[in-house]
Structure 1
């Protein structure tokens, strides 16, 4: 029996991974949650190193997937202690506990470890984050490498997928503004959308397939270690994403492009991740954005009509 612990299994990515692994015969899942406790999960605060150690000692998983993190750039900028606790110290605690049992650890990181000036970025490119979120995730990558030889960082870009509320992804968080722009008076209804930063929206069920394939390699003694990257291949600004969302929602949204950065927290311009390392291993799946977003909207229908 191959045993996998998924840390943060109630989050946007964690749920997709848990669902994908549930389809594997002969595998046992141990799911941990914190802010959204569920009947089939173990409540675990990964900021508590002693609790992390007790959990790993009790479960002794063959592999651990760390999908829990503080991923909101503005929160990281204003609360660097929280960002460090979740994105650095927790990774170190989990990896250190896992090392005692020889467990392989997969830790999720971000394209924001790069400054966005020289895309595409290969997995061996020198990181240079420009905000607190990127810095904390880069420190988390280093914490993993320092704590175990059986670890892999998987860098990912902007994620979207099946949601429990619109704000769970920066993609679906645009829906309320899009809907409002289609309902309000013409003279005051345009929604301003960023048309500067280039993102590569990536579907969480596709990432879950990547994670499952990486786990399969570990299970047969071919563990991928070091750094790997996966990304969607459709470049879009938030303005373009909003246009595609409006089309999927069948609404006449009034959108205005903003061609200069306006976020209080600095964002990179274009952090396109090169996925060649995983592609060379035959790992990966990409669902076209329009297909994927319609699947998301079908499961969480817009009620603004």
Structure 2
């Protein structure tokens, strides 16, 4: 039963890149109670929960009795998913099914995070109803996870997102910030240039902006206007990793030596352009986009030390 101003939200996966941003955003909402979970990298305010343990998940949700659940936990590294599909399935499909079944018993609205990689990248922009065609194990596992939630009978909503970046605990957390050490190295005397992908177009999306989107979606649920089905949110500035690298170098005021790689170089196949149409949420008045250069300057403000918030 909804409790109005006393809304209780369970945030599963609060220690990750997106989870931390969502936790910070929801903590600012007066009257909301936010219960955060983490698998291993939590803090004193997080509940330790292994989402692969279906019995533990069921007991946790039954005990907490939340009004809403946000699932930000996943295996999101394409290469890891490709090399260990069992792990990808356990975290991205089976765990979500367990959460959905437990949520259905309590009639709890559940929001799960998915990815633009459910598409093959040949016909952008993609609307929520466009047929998916993932190219790799990561995309396939996330698509199966979407179906596990939506077919469960729970009050469910999927939010597809593209490449994420934001305040990091270490520079490898995001495919945006992970470029930084090589860019810095390339500016050193006699160093080799950094070779960056200039083939695939990405739409970097700032995690604090996504956190606002999620908060606004939960607010609709609290008003009895819950969103169901598949939704999408994306930054609107197209760029390749080479473009991103040039902006990182400019932000850090580096004379970096960068070389554009014009053909796919990743061992795991990746789509060329999966631009997500965000029109459904925009029509509901939901959304926020921070200009990439503005957000990047915030993220890189303390390089080479990780920005811990």
The bucket for the TM-score relative to the shorter chain is over 0.9
Indicate yes or no: 2:304 matched with 1:302: yes
TM-score scaled by length of structure 1: 0.97
Residue aligning to 1:224: 227
CA contact (8 A) 1:4 1:64 kept: yes
CA contact (8 A) 1:249 1:302 kept: no
Distance 2:70 2:119 in 1: 23
TM-score normalised over the length of structure 2? 0.96
Q: Distance in 2 between matches of 1:279 and 1:58?
A: 35
- The CA distance in 2 between the partners of 1:224 and 1:181, in whole Å, is 47
Contact 2:122 2:272 in 1 (8 A): yes
- Runs of at least 4 residues off by over 6 Å: none
- The one of 40, 62, 67 equivalent to 1:62 is 67
In 2, the alpha carbon distance for the partners of 1:101 and 1:201 equals 36
How many residues were matched structurally?
A: 301
Q: 267, 292, 297: which is aligned to 1:264?
A: 267
Partner of residue 278 from structure 2, selected from 248, 254, 275? 275
Aligned partners of 2:14 and 2:42 also within 8 Å: no
Task: In structure 1, list runs of 5 or more residues that go unmatched.
Answer: none
Q: Is the 8 A contact 1:83 1:136 kept in 2?
A: yes
1:183-205 per-position Cα deviation (integer Å, ceiling 9, x unaligned): 140xx521000000000000000
Cα distance, 1:301 vs structure 2? 2.4
Tell me if 1:167 matches 2:172.
yes
Q: 1:216, CA displacement in angstroms? A: 0.1
CA contact (8 A) 2:196 2:259 kept: yes
Distance in 2 (alpha carbons) for counterparts of 1:224 and 1:268: 28
- The answer on 1:30 being equivalent to 2:35 is yes
Deviations 1:33-69 (CA, angstroms, capped at 9, x unpaired): 1120210010000011011011101101000000000
Question: Could you tell me which residue of structure 2 aligns to residue 193 of structure 1?
Answer: 196
* Separation in structure 1 between the aligned mates of residue 59 and residue 252 of structure 2, nearest angstrom: 47
Alignment gaps of 5+ in structure 2: 1-5
Give the 3-state SS of the residue equivalent to 1:224 in structure 2.
coil
- Check if 1:50 corresponds to 2:43: no
Q: For the residues of structure 2 that align with 1:303 and 1:34, how far apart are their CA atoms?
A: 25
The Cα shift of 1:303 comes to 5.6
Q: Is the 8 A contact 2:103 2:154 kept in 1?
A: no
The CA deviation at 1:111 is 0.1
Q: Distance in 1 between matches of 2:189 and 2:195?
A: 14
| Inter-partner Cα distance in structure 2 for 1:257 and 1:120 | 24
Q: Which residue of 1 aligns with 2:247?
A: 244
Of 19, 23, 28, which residue of structure 2 is paired with 1:18? Answer: 23
Q: Is structure 2 residue 229 aligned with structure 1 residue 214?
A: no
For residue 183 of structure 1, the aligned residue among 188, 210, 224 is 188
Q: Provide the residue aligned with 2:3 in structure 1.
A: none
CA distance in 2, matches of 1:150, 1:274: 23
RMSD over aligned Cα atoms: 1.0
Which segment drifts farther, 29-38 or 131-140?
29-38
